[in-house]
Amino acid sequence: MFKFDFDLEDADIDPDVDSLLQSSHPVQEPNNKQVHEAEENLGNDGGFVEKSIEHLLNALPPQLSYSPLEIPLSSSSSSQTYYLARRDLFDARFQVISEDKQDEKAPNDADPRLQFLDTPSDLVPGVYEGGLKTWECSQDMVDYLSASLDDGSLKGSRLLELGCGTGVPSLYLLQRIFSSPLEKISPKKTMIHLQDYNPSVLELVTFPNVLLAWYMSPASTPFLSSQTTQPSHQEPEPEDFDPDFPAPDPTTSGDLPITPTLKTAFIQSLEAYGVELRFFGGSWKSLRDAIVNDSALESKHSGLGDYDIVLTSETIYRTESVPDLIGVIWDATQTRPSASTVSDSLAKMALSRSATSLPRPLILVAAKVFYFGVGGGVDEFVEAVYKWNGTRTETKTVEEAEEVKNVEVKTVWEKNVGVGRRIVRILW
């Protein structure tokens, strides 16, 4: 088990490095019991799984409790704070306890989800990877995106957030889309795909936060208007009407009732704003396999890969997992034309965007300069990117190896107060 012990509320306080060193713990390999319980309750064995929107909507509790997340925007010309509504972990904990009671779970069969909800910063490699906690660097990513990514680059793009956890960067971008006038929506769908190692994280925090991002945006206005304006001759049904929906204000805490009409309105908004949401659980290796296999005809994972934007925050803390992260980023950003319509020679050229006139994808990695007690950090990650061979060893050709040498890693955002943090962009 590894504990970062970086409190989000203290992100701007210059901490004592010695105390950080003393408070860090070495990584411990999970025992067989932990792995078995993870597969049963956290819903993961590292294999690729997709959670449909229908499933995630049905997994929601009767209401969501939320609190504001304050994100300072240092890149702004004037000092500003951006607010996102984020599900409270005590609310997720209450949901898990309620589900266990309904399943008549024995008291001595402790649900491991509760352990990690109580201590969301305690990481167990291959069991729980920290997705329940909002980490500092995900806020840094919002700070950078607010100043660097215009709406024109976002609309109609294909975006993948790796190791999404609470999904803060994607929530920010979703709110921007949902705040756009409908007449300015791109005719091309905007695809936002979120991945976390633990499928239960997608159910307990990622998707609830996505729903809250929609509710706090102008996109929910038609729904709220329909709830407050009912024809005098029509008696609202209890399951379809709740007069106590909170004001869509992300700066305050509240409780959001989850009703059938709210779920329907959310789906309708996705269609109206041209947004495709998909949620993936499992390891980066399993996602990479799914992306590579997606080029096959009639793949059940149709629509993966060829991403224009790839974001990831606080995911390079373990050096052992870095090659898999770099590998999935590589395969996620390669253009893969259909073999039925493109000749083999052209298909080989299309393996790298740098070999074509296509714009380079926006690949951003936000992380701490160094992770105490684990050895990972920005410099080690950058070195690994330059050393990485570009493709799987068994399929690498000389041409492909030469192509991947055309790589550059640039620091685009940096904060040196306390434990240093950076955002780097990979260009290939």
Q: List, in order of start, the domains of the chain with CATH numbers.
A: 2-227+241-427 (3.40.50.150)
Per-residue pLDDT, 343:
40
Residue 362 reports pLDDT greater than 90: yes
- DSSP secondary structure letters along 306-335: --SEEEEES--S-GGGHHHHHHHHHHHT--
Residue 272 Cα distances to 222, 295, 364, angstroms: 12, 29, 29
74: left (phi over 0), alpha (psi -120 to 50) or beta: alpha
- DSSP secondary structure letters along 219-264: GGHHHHHHHH---TT-PPPTTT--TTPPPS-TTS-EEEE--HHHHH
Per-residue pLDDT, 152:
78
Structure-block tokens of residue 374: 């684990």
d(CA 385, CA 405): 10
Cα three-residue angle 336-338-340, rounded to 5 degrees? 155
Which of 187-191, 258-262, 297-301 is the most confident on average?
A: 258-262
Beta pairing, strands 2-3 & 408-415: unpaired
d(CA 359, CA 366): 22
Please state which of the ranges 110-114, 317-321, 351-355 shows the lowest mean pLDDT: 351-355
pLDDT tens digits, 135-179: 999 999 999 999 998 877 888 999 999 999 999 999 999 999 999
Nearest to 425, CA basis, from 377, 361, 368 = 361
- The arithmetic mean of pLDDT across residues 258-270, rounded, is 97
Helix, strand, coil percentages (3-state) for the chain, rounded to 5, are 40, 20, 40
d(CA 280, CA 332): 13
Which residue would you say has higher pLDDT here, 215 or 397? 215
pLDDT tens digits, 376-406: 899 999 999 998 865 544 344 445 544 555 7
Place of tokens 């050709």: 397
Structure-block tokens of residue 391: 């493709």
Q: What are 15-24's contacts with CB under 8 Å, separation 24+?
A: 15/418, 15/419, 17/419, 20/372, 20/419, 21/372, 21/373, 24/372, 24/373
- DSSP secondary structure letters along 101-153: HHTT--TTS--HHHHHHHSTTEEBTTTB-STTS--HHHHHHHHHHHHH--HHH
Strand order in the sheet with 63-73: 80-87, 63-73, 254-257
| Average pLDDT of the residues of the chain | 80
Q: If pLDDT is split at 50, 70 and 90, which confidence band does 118 have?
A: confident
Beta pairing, strands 190-196 & 275-281: parallel
Q: If pLDDT is split at 50, 70 and 90, which confidence band does 11 have?
A: very low
d(CA 389, CA 387): 6
Cβ atoms of 212 and 64 closer than 8 Å: yes
Per-residue pLDDT, 272:
95
Residue 134 Cα distances to 81, 168, 264, angstroms: 17, 8, 28
What is the DSSP-derived secondary structure letter of residue 370?
B
Place of tokens 């000749």: 343
The count of other CB atoms within 10 Å of the CB of residue 194 is 28
pLDDT tens digits, 181-200: 987 777 889 999 999 999 99
Which residue would you say has higher pLDDT here, 8 or 97? 97
266-285 per-residue burial string, b: 16 or more CB within 10 A, e: under 16: beebbeebbbebbbbbbbbb
- DSSP secondary structure letters along 150-181: -HHHHTT-EEEEET-TT-HHHHHHHHHHHTS-
Nearest to 164, CA basis, from 215, 207, 216 = 207
- Percentage of residues in the chain having pLDDT higher than 70: 72
pTM of the model: 0.82
Nearest to 201, CA basis, from 118, 289, 130, 98 = 130
